[in-house]
Structures are given as structure tokens and as C-alpha cells.
């Protein structure tokens, strides 16, 4: 007797379901094992194999200047952190030694962890303009993390303090806890503020004088960092530090039309399943991209080596009239996915809780904001009367940033003077798009040639113990990485990859 069709179908479903049966315990075991493997592989101590990685001795930093003790932060008693984050120093310092100086930047300094180097100093800044570097500290590369969706702070196994000392600075004036009225006109003014602050910092923390310096930052800091580096190289007597290299991730290096508009529709096609646009809307986008000269741009002009200077698609460095596909895509992505996050495109409901109140691209405000708690401000010597926001509500460049994008000005000089330069881009970032950074690089001339001469190979970024994690290409002192499975904030979303890239930048490993 033949079983009825419906019964056969039910049997098939049951068989399929049982084949996939796993207990919750088994699922979490697998995940735990994977997480452990990741930590071990990414940890600086574990990977000393093959002579590829150099290690330093145990750190031991103390500061003789009695003023330093005023900034000391007790790492055992940070509010809501239930573990010891170790000693650190934080507070406000002026941007010049003028007795009437009213402008002060807020900093938080951590000495190296047990495996870190005593010879080096990493400077980190977030972008914006006007976004706080405490975001980097708390959610990206600091020793403790309280990231989106986390119920409480956790230890960051890939903290950059495992590499060396790290200094997070809220700059320029107008950002975070920093004090004073913004008045800078351009990036050179900004660099002068940072260098002025660093001079004051080195007076108090004089034991850090002479260290190797690495300037690092993300997003709009892709503009800050090359200008600060250039200022230091062009004014070599100002700072008693030895600048070695720069990291910029998901950086603003050039025009918006290049980094946001030209690659936007290609990006949607690449991640079609995550946008899930309907056919009618896709046809509209394709038509618009074609009309605006975005279609086929990459295939035609992004060649290795480049055939000549790369043209703009029209006569605007933002977008020609009717050619803002980026905003078109963003607005429509929000229709089907109100949780769509331009900083990490696969986010969906629910919107994750964020103690810094800046959850992706969303207007929701969380409360209380960690750095607005009085007891937190007191613990880190921040001004209790200053209301902290992750990104400033005032313009830190009151009349706009008068500098040209760094790819057209200072970046080549900085690459030429650096020992090593890394530019990093997360492949799942939509606010600045990796393919646009390729356009920037291929249109830039450094160390005597324009762009990369040979193609960027697939699967060329190999992370120790993990395997291929995107692409990597290195020529004439510039190493460019595209990190798979990462949005805008690379150390937050791909901490193991970020850590290895920093090891390379700092010369702690020979291969990228």
C-alpha cells in the first residue's frame, strides 16, 4: 500500500529535522570552542611561532612628575566594571603652555599590558568631525569593552594595550569632554592643537618622551591622521617622539563622490540579499547609476597599474544633480529594514542597546550614557558639568574644514616618510565603501609611481590561525587591507584582524 502523499511529505520533514537536531548545549559548545580558538590565535603571546612576531619584555611604567598622580585612575573601581582594568591616567590638559590657555583636550592613557612594548606609543582618534575617541576605547581597541548589545563590560582580549601604551584623545576642541570654543579653520590648525596638547602631555608624562609613535584613527580621522603626521614630519623639533607609521581605517581620504557615490550601486548588487530591494527599485537604481556615469566606472578605470589619472564621473566632487544614489539607497533600505545600519549593513531588528548612545545609524537615544554618569566622570577626572555626547552637536570646524582631502595633498608625503603605512577598509561598511578607497589609491602618486602596479588578489589577507580574511596588497610602503565580515569599526567587528594589522604596522611581525 502506497502511503498518502501528505504522509510522505511529513516523513521527509521529520527526517530533515532530526538530521539537524542539536541540543542547545551542543550548539553553545561549538561556539565556545570557536571563540576560544579565535582568542588563542589572535593573542599576541600565543603566536610567537616562526619568528614572524617579535615580543618585548614586561612593562613597568611609573611617572616621576607628581602632577601625573593627579590623573591616576584606579582600575579596580571603574563604575559598573566588575574586573580590574589595570592602572591608567586620564583628564584634561591644555593645548599650549600659555597661562591664559582656555582650550583643553581630554585624554585617557593606558600603559602596555604584560606582553606589550615599552618602546612605543599608539595615539588613537575617532573621526566625525567631532566624535569622541572614548568610543574607540570602550568599543574598539581598549582593554575593556562595552559594545553594542552587551549587557555589561567585558575584557578585550585583543586590546591594543597588549601591543604598547595607548593614548586616546578627544580632539579637536569641541569634542567629548574637551573644553574651549572651537575656532579651527582647517587640518593644519587641528594638527597644531594636537601637537600642542602632546607637548603638554609629555611634560607631565615625561617617561614617554622619545618613544616610537604610531598615529591611528578611523573614518574622518582618515583626514586628521595624515595631516597630523605631515605636521609632525614638517616640524620635526616640536615633539620629542619618533613618528613611525599611521593606521587609518574606513578613512575619509577623498571626495564623497568617489568614496560613497560611484561604488554604491555596485555595493548593493554585491550584497543584494542583505538589501533585499525589489526588482522595480533595482531597475531604478541601475538607470540612475548609468545616467550618472557610475556604471562600469570601476571596471574601466580601476586597473593595475592605472592607465592615467582617474576622472570624476561628472563635474561635482559630491554628486551631480539627481545623482545622489547613496542617500537614495539609504532611505529605501530603511523601508524594509528600519534597523539598517550604514556602519554594518547586516543589522536587523532589534536595534542593539548602546551605552554610548550612538547605535549605528539610528536616532534612538539610550540612557544613561556611560560617560554621562557622574561617578564615571569622577573616576576618570572628567569635568562633571560637561554633558558628554559621542558625536558633538556643535561644529568643531565652525566655518567648515578648509583643507583639501589628504589624498590630494599630504598623504603621499606621509607614506614616503613613514616606515610603514596601513589603510584598512571593512567590506561591510556602507558609509564609506572599500571599492571607493581603491579608486583613491589608484589615483594617488607616492614614491614615484601612481597607484598599485599589480592587482589586489582575492583571499590575500591571511590572519594567523584563521586563514583568508579578505584582501591585502602592499607596494612602496603602503599596505592596503580589506577586512571581510567587518563594518566601519574594524577593531570592534574584526578585533583579531585589527590586532595583526597593528602588529605589522609596528614592526612586531614581518608579513602583513
Spell out the alpha helix ranges (H) of 361-489.
374-379, 411-417, 434-442
Q: Is 157 in the site for ligand NAG (CB under 6 A)?
A: yes
CB of 44 to ligand NAG, least distance (A): 5
Considering only residues 38, 233, 271, 408, which one is a binding residue for ligand NAG as defined by CB under 6 A? 408
Binding mask 334-363 for ligand NAG (x = CB under 6 A): -x----------------------------
Q: Is 76 in the site for ligand NAG (CB under 6 A)?
A: yes
Tell me how far apart the alpha carbons of residues 211 and 111 are, in angstroms, rounded to a whole number. Answer: 13
CA geometry: angle 175, 181, 185, nearest 5 deg: 85
CA geometry: angle 101, 102, 106, nearest 5 deg: 110
CB of 26 to ligand NAG, least distance (A): 28
Tell me how far apart the alpha carbons of residues 503 and 163 are, in angstroms, rounded to a whole number. Answer: 7
Q: Catalytic amino acids?
A: 219, 429, 488
Q: Is 271 in the site for ligand NAG (CB under 6 A)?
A: no
Closer CB to ligand NAG, residue 8 or residue 445?
445
Q: Is 18 in the site for ligand NAG (CB under 6 A)?
A: no
Considering only residues 38, 233, 271, 281, which one is a binding residue for ligand NAG as defined by CB under 6 A? 281
Counting every residue written for the chain, the total comes to: 512
From residue 152, how far is each of 90, 145, 211, 389 by CA, in Å?
A: 22, 9, 34, 20
Tell me the residue nearest to ligand NAG as measured from the CB.
Answer: 314
Tell me how far apart the alpha carbons of residues 222 and 248 are, in angstroms, rounded to a whole number. Answer: 5
Asked if 74 contacts 380 with a C-beta cutoff of 8 angstroms, the reply is no
Q: Which of 113, 212, 109, 107 is nearest to 161 (CA)?
A: 113
Tell me how far apart the alpha carbons of residues 167 and 115 are, in angstroms, rounded to a whole number. Answer: 17
Asked if 246 contacts 226 with a C-beta cutoff of 8 angstroms, the reply is yes
According to DSSP, the β-strands at 462-463 and 467-468 are: antiparallel
Closer CB to ligand NAG, residue 135 or residue 157?
157
Residue 120: count of CB within 10 angstroms of its CB? 23
Part of the chain binding ligand NAG (CB under 6 A), chosen from 131-139, 275-283, 396-404, 495-503 = 275-283
Closer CB to ligand NAG, residue 310 or residue 505?
310
Part of the chain binding ligand NAG (CB under 6 A), chosen from 129-137, 154-162, 393-401, 428-436 = 154-162
Asked if 224 contacts 408 with a C-beta cutoff of 8 angstroms, the reply is no
Residue 348: count of CB within 10 angstroms of its CB? 12
- The answer for residues whose C-beta is within 8 angstroms of residue 247's C-beta and 6 or more apart is 214, 215, 216, 217, 225, 422, 424, 501, 502, 505
Q: Is 199 in the site for ligand NAG (CB under 6 A)?
A: no
Q: Is 292 in the site for ligand NAG (CB under 6 A)?
A: yes
Binding mask 304-323 for ligand NAG (x = CB under 6 A): -----xx-xxx-----x--x
- Please state whether the peptide bond connecting residue 177 to the residue before it is cis, i.e. omega within 30 degrees of 0: no
Q: Is 156 in the site for ligand NAG (CB under 6 A)?
A: yes
CB of 114 to ligand NAG, least distance (A): 5
Q: Is 142 in the site for ligand NAG (CB under 6 A)?
A: no
Residue pointed to by grid coordinates 581620504: 253
Closer CB to ligand NAG, residue 223 or residue 389?
223
CB of 128 to ligand NAG, least distance (A): 23
CB of 72 to ligand NAG, least distance (A): 8
Closer CB to ligand NAG, residue 116 or residue 487?
116
Q: Is 254 in the site for ligand NAG (CB under 6 A)?
A: yes
Q: Is 135 in the site for ligand NAG (CB under 6 A)?
A: no
CA 361 to chain centre: 16
According to DSSP, the β-strands at 212-218 and 242-249 are: parallel
Part of the chain binding ligand NAG (CB under 6 A), chosen from 11-19, 43-51, 363-371, 489-497 = 43-51
CB of 87 to ligand NAG, least distance (A): 9
What residues make contact with ligand NAG under the rule CB under 6 A? 43-45, 60, 62, 74, 76-77, 98, 100-102, 113-115, 143, 155-157, 159, 161-162, 254-255, 258, 278, 280-281, 292-293, 309-310, 312-314, 320, 323, 332, 335, 408, 439, 443, 458
Amino acid at each position: 500500500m502506497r502511503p498518502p502523499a501528505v504522509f510522505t511529505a511529513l516523513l521527509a520533514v521529520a527526517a530533515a529535522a532530526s538530521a539537524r537536531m542539536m541540543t542547545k548545549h551542543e550548539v553553545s559548545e561549538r561556539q565556545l570552542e570557536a571563540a576560544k580558538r579565535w582568542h588563542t590565535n589572535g593573542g599576541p603571546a600565543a603566536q610567537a611561532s616562526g619568528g614572524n612576531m617579535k615580543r618585548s619584555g614586561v612593562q613597568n611604567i611609573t611617572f616621576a612628575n607628581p602632577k601625573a598622580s593627579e590623573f591616576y585612575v584606579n582600575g579596580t573601581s571603574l563604575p559598573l566594571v566588575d574586573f580590574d582594568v589595570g592602572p591608567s591616567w586620564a583628564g584634561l590638559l591644555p593645548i599650549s603652555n600659555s597661562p591664559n590657555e582656555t582650550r583643553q583636550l581630554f585624554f585617557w592613557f593606558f600603559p602596555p599590558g604584560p606582553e606589550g612594548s615599552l618602546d612605543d606609543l599608539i595615539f588613537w582618534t575617532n573621526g566625525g568631525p567631532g566624535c569622541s575617541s572614548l568610543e574607540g576605547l570602550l568599543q574598539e581597541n581598549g582593554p575593556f569593552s562595552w559594545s553594542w548589545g552587551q549587557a555589561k563590560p567585558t575584557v578585550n582580549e585583543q586590546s591594543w594595550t597588549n601591543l604598547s601604551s595607548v593614548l586616546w584623545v578627544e580632539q579637536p576642541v569641541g569634542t567629548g569632554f574637551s573644553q574651549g570654543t572651537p575656532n579651527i579653520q582647517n587640518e593644519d590648525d587641528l594638527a597644531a592643537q594636537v601637537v600642542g596638547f602632546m607637548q603638554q602631555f609629555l611634560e607631565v608624562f615625561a617617561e614617554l618622551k622619545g618613544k616610537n609613535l604610531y598615529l591611528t584613527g578611523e573614518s574622518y580621522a582618515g583626514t586628521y591622521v595624515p595631516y597630523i603626521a605631515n605636521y609632525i614630519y614638517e616640524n620635526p623639533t616640536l615633539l620629542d617622539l619618533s613618528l613611525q607609521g599611521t593606521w587609518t581605517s574606513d578613512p575619509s581620504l577623498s571626495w564623497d563622490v568617489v568614496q560613497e557615490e560611484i561604488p554604491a550601486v555596485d555595493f548593493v548588487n554585491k550584497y543584494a540579499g542583505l538589501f533585499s530591494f525589489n526588482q522595480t527599485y533595482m531597475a531604478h537604481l541601475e538607470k540612475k547609476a548609468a545616467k550618472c556615469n557610475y556604471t562600469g566606472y570601476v571596471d574601466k578605470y580601476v586597473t593595475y597599474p592605472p592607465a592615467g589619472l582617474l576622472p570624476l564621473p561628472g563635474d561635482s566632487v559630491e554628486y551631480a544633480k539627481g545623482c545622489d544614489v547613496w542617500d537614495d539607497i539609504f532611505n529605501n533600505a530603511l523601508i524594509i529594514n528600519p534597523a539598517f545600519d550604514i556602519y554594518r549593513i547586516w543589522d536587523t531588528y532589534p536595534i542593539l542597546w548602546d551605552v554610548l548612545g550612538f547605535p549605528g545609524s539610528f536616532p534612538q537615544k539610550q540612557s544613561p550614557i556611560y560617560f554621562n554618569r557622574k561617578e564615571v566622570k569622577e573616576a576618570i577626572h572628567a569635568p562633571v558639568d560637561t554633558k558628554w555626547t559621542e558625536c558633538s552637536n556643535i561644529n568643531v570646524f565652525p566655518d567648515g574644514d578648509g583643507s583639501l582631502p589628504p589624498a590630494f595633498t599630504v598623504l603621499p608625503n606621509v607614506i614616503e616618510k613613514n616606515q610603514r603605512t596601513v589603510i584598512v577598509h571593512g567590506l561591510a561598511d556602507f558609509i564609506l565603501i572599500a571599492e571607493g578607497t581603491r579608486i583613491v589609491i589608484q589615483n594617488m602618486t607616492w614614491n614615484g609611481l601612481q597607484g598599485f602596479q599589480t592587482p589586489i588578489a582575492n583571499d590575500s589577507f591571511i590572519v594567523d590561525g584563521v586563514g583568508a580574511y579578505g584582501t591585502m596588497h602592499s607596494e612602496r610602503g603602503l599596505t592596503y587591507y580589506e577586512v571581510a565580515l567587518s563594518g566601519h569599526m574594524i577593531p570592534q567587528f574584526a578585533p583579531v584582524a585589527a590586532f595583526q594589522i597593528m602588529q605589522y604596522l609596528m614592526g612586531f611581525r614581518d608579513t602583513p
